[in-house]
Structure 1
């Protein structure tokens, strides 16, 4: 069973309530809403994740399902959030279990005992067997074998080396963040805080460094919007951020949005700041962005234009299906993706 498929947890949820017939949708004694269905409804409402029911025709009408019962996974299914590793990832054992072993094959015989916080690299996998994802771990020339994913913690990969931030190992944006670090767009620190809202001054730092990187890479002149520059001393900005905030202002990018430097930035304002460095193509002139995102009804004309320009240039995407979520705060990970997309679009 693939534990990363949410539909495969149906019987576990049912068993949580003792496999009662009142929660058997095929039983004449079933409640109107079984416990499993109530959980599904909450997940869909609160997290926007649709979980499909199994085929109820496989269920016995008046008895508990037997251990030998095999019910196929629905054709349409939803995946969970188990992070799978890749060949070349650097990992260590989790340092919690006192006895961990490598095996000759997935679920096979023990071959080597590992030490606490043992370092290694992934050379093969994943292989799904007995409900676990298995990976082949290389420690040294004499020590290599298979181990369950559950006991491994990713620390880096062969492309970017050891991750310098302690909080991105399992994050979806880890490679983007490390790529920006390599380009000097994000700075070294213990934590990156990828899911924390980005502030206005942090966004300006990222954008200023991104534009400077593009200019240097292309050996081109300064990216500048010709307009009257609004005067602002940005007195609230941190000293380490001030020159970058001023740079973005002096480039003419803050005509529409000048904010408190410490204020968290929402997604529509992030689009407004970058709109003027992007190209509005006639190819997309007739596209009604409201047919792509259904939650833009309360935006101003300028805000809608900014979202459309950023979207059609491949710089931003929706937060959920048909939803841009313009008033939600932009996270530091999402800001990193925006910067990476700008670099990829304009570096020749």
Structure 2
């Protein structure tokens, strides 16, 4: 190819995408990893593809490189036609039909990434016909892209996990989890069939589920309400002066701290870091926090909660729409909690359904009373039954009653005790000893003095509920 023609092609595309230039005839200039991650994120947002997915594909395909050490475009070693950073693979007829320029794919990184995003989006749109839908099909859930990523590499049997221990799509997801510091993700189970002697997968079902559903942490934009999050309770998150791991630390951000995104996602120049950094104002300072520790949601900073463990428990439940505070900005953590309030919290946590024709058997509530529907759900599911025909919605709940309710609700999640613990104030013949001992045996309480007849406070109930939900 003539030098002037290569320069002309790249110059035209630079105006559109800010692509590469040529240092000399036939030699490509590699963009920095920071620039490439910026481009991938921008294009991912444009096509509503989680940037984590595109970054992981680029990493698995080429180590995020467009050119080799000699400045030549990286071409697939197996001569299947894969080109550049995303190893875009299209036959000549397909290139012509799609009006895709092969030379631009070779020499322009941004163009290569954008074409790859278009192809991946096309595979996504096969969902429900050629490919199964994963979960509810929301685009910002990373696991939901499993089959689109598989199809990006090809529907051949090599990507069938029932035949091969290691598949392309699973390598992409393992890279994604490791390099973005997100929890390991589950893969959907599925069955395929093949035509006689064929090598192309045809999916038996049109839907698949995963146990985990991990939302992208790299699709937030300026003004979005988010909060700080980490898997390890009680930990803190580094708040840095610049968007790099080596930048000076301005301080620590506790978990479940409400934040507002102040700008676009920024990146460092490290190839192996597939996460980015969001700018925030926190504690009167402007700094950056890694995207891995940001979650979507509006959390209330309650002025009357000072204990960090309580802050995390309340934030955990509020983020899931399970619990709330009062209109004056308080949570009132030390107030005892009504039985009907516990019912409302559990109803939201468990999404309990009740037949429309079911009538509350308890005689101390009427339809229209505060908490009627929630208490009816508790009665129907055997969570609260009351005594002497009364379900007592406006009584405070005791700690012993809380223990019994939690062990009923989360029976499947809590292991059966192997020993009987000795409590200072709970004899073994106490009516709720078994429930209290089960909480202790599962590590949900560590005290020897349980105070079973005391009223449970709002903060205590939040703590216990969060602990047991962590076991789910």
| TM-score, normalised relative to structure 1 | 0.45
Considering fraction of residues, name the structure with more strand.
1
| Structure number with larger C-alpha Rg | 2
Q: What TM-score results when the alignment is normalised by the length of structure 2?
A: 0.34
